[in-house]
Amino acid sequence: MTSIYQKTLILLITFLFSYQAHAIVQFRGHYGLGQPDGRHSESIDSKALGADVIVSLPLIPIVFGLRYEKITTDDRFTTNTEKVDLNRIAILGGYRLIDTLLFVGVLGSLGIINDGEIKYKNNFTGTTFDSEIDMSTNLSVAVEGGVKLNDFILGLELGYMHGEDKENDFDFNGTYGKAILGYEF
């Protein structure tokens, strides 16, 4: 005979992986840290604060939406200081492998607006230089996962972003991680 604990565990696992989520729209906020290459491929630390609107149709594992991010860096190197302020709007698309009370999937983004500013300061001479960022290419691919608690979402996103501004010799290629907090209805 199986114990009551085993039956409860089996029932809970069955419920978590068989209950289809019926929410259509998700509003998510996220805060992330990354370590992309910077100017001349020097590794920099970045922070990102943003919001997503994601649409998922019932019984279809495909999701799509929009993302806004403000990505900033403030790094000191031996010879210079580099500050980046990047605004990014991207189209999102993804596939949910599991979309029940738990969600696991892949998510990709294509940046449609990628503009901002880079400020350089030479630490020896004190001279400064400002330049506009215009990334012609900006893509990301990530794995996301989390839990849905009633209508609230708590999750993580781990991925890789590729972006470049050839005019400024500035690359934004590197890994990132984000904490996600959201609401769905």
Q: What is the pLDDT of residue 106?
A: 98
The chain-wide mean pLDDT, for the chain, equals 85
Per-domain boundaries in the chain: 22-184
Please tell me the distance from the alpha carbon of residue 146 to that of residue 32, in angstroms, as a whole number.
15
Task: Examine the pLDDT at 2 and tell me if it is beyond 70.
Answer: no
* Residue the block writes with tokens 């580099």: 82
Express each pLDDT in 22-46 by its tens digit: 668 999 999 999 887 665 556 678 8
Q: CATH number of the domain at 22-184, please? A: 2.40.160.20
Confidence of residue 64 (pLDDT cuts 50, 70, 90): very high
pTM above the 0.85 mark?
no
117-131, 146-160, 161-175 — which one is most confidently predicted on average?
146-160
